[in-house]
Amino acid sequence: MQHKLVLLRHGQSIWNVEQRFTGSTDVPLTELGVAEARRAGEVLRESGYAFDLVFTSRLSRARQTAREALMVMGLPDIEVRHDARLNERSFGILEGMRFVDAAARYGEPWGQPWLWGLRPEGGESLDDLMERLRPLWQTDIHDAVTAGRKVLVVAHGNTIRAFDELLRSGQGERLDRVPTATPLLYEWNGSPAGVKRTAFEVSNSASSASKMA
């Protein structure tokens, strides 16, 4: 049996524009971010996707993205579960700092939003985030998908990177850049070995999907 899961990063936020580490800070969407969320909903609707269960973080940028996308899809009343385990990775002392300033103060590797292998003081590493997400994946999301639920997860850049590692560890390049409001489709048969990841094209009125390594 083929299983499918769609992950969606929130639309553009104010601190995305300012190139800051956002993390657990509750920063709202920009007007463009709202439009991106609606466009993601259009792309999913035009591609024939419908959901009966949505997971989001408790941060407003993810919740608003889910709300806008579902409204466009004609699914305003489906079950939505807000779970703090889906919140963005905590960046500790880096939170609110511009990427360029973090690189200047702490070194170039600290100026990248994914911070592979690094744990900011007072914050989380990606491995920490994966361990935070693992129980949610194993006992809630995975079980729902394998039971036949049509699941959408609306979260954050590093949350999606961590999910990608949980789903596809050792199956190709790591997911560095996670565009805002671009749906990612994960498909697998039986056990989640050999998971295929597909990113939807959201720039055109006619949606298409192109495989990502």
Active site residue 201: no
Q: Is residue 62 part of a domain?
A: yes
Q: Is residue 20 part of a domain?
A: yes
Among residues 36, 68, 88, 124, the one annotated as catalytic is 88
Q: Is residue 204 part of a domain?
A: no
Decide if 74 contacts 42 (C-beta within 8 A).
no
pLDDT of residue 193: 65
What does R_g of the chain's alpha carbons equal in angstroms?
A: 16
Q: Is the pLDDT of residue 106 over 60?
A: yes
Among residues 3, 10, 36, 124, the one annotated as catalytic is 10
Q: Is residue 201 part of a domain?
A: no
Number of structural domains found in the chain? 1
Q: Is the pLDDT of residue 213 over 70?
A: no
Decide if 208 contacts 202 (C-beta within 8 A).
no
d(CA 80, CA 74): 14
Strands 184-189 and 2-9: antiparallel
Of the candidates 138, 120, 156, the one whose C-alpha atom is nearest the C-alpha of residue 33 is 156
Which two three-digit tokens encode residue 167?
Answer: 């789903």
Q: Specify the CATH number for the domain of residue 166.
A: 3.40.50.1240
Average pLDDT, the chain: 91
Active site residue 10: yes
Ramachandran class of 122: left when φ > 0, alpha when ψ lies in -120 to 50, beta otherwise: left
Q: Is the pLDDT of residue 171 over 90?
A: no
Q: Is residue 171 part of a domain?
A: yes
Lowest mean pLDDT among 36-45, 117-126, 136-145, 201-210: 201-210
Question: Domain range holding 163?
Answer: 2-125+132-186
Q: Is the pLDDT of residue 195 over 80?
A: yes
d(CA 138, CA 153): 14
Q: Which letter does DSSP use for residue 89 in this model?
A: P
Q: Is residue 64 part of a domain?
A: yes
Q: Is residue 210 part of a domain?
A: no
| Mean pLDDT in residue range 42-54 | 96
Q: Is residue 162 part of a domain?
A: yes
Kind and range of the H or E element at 200? strand 196-201
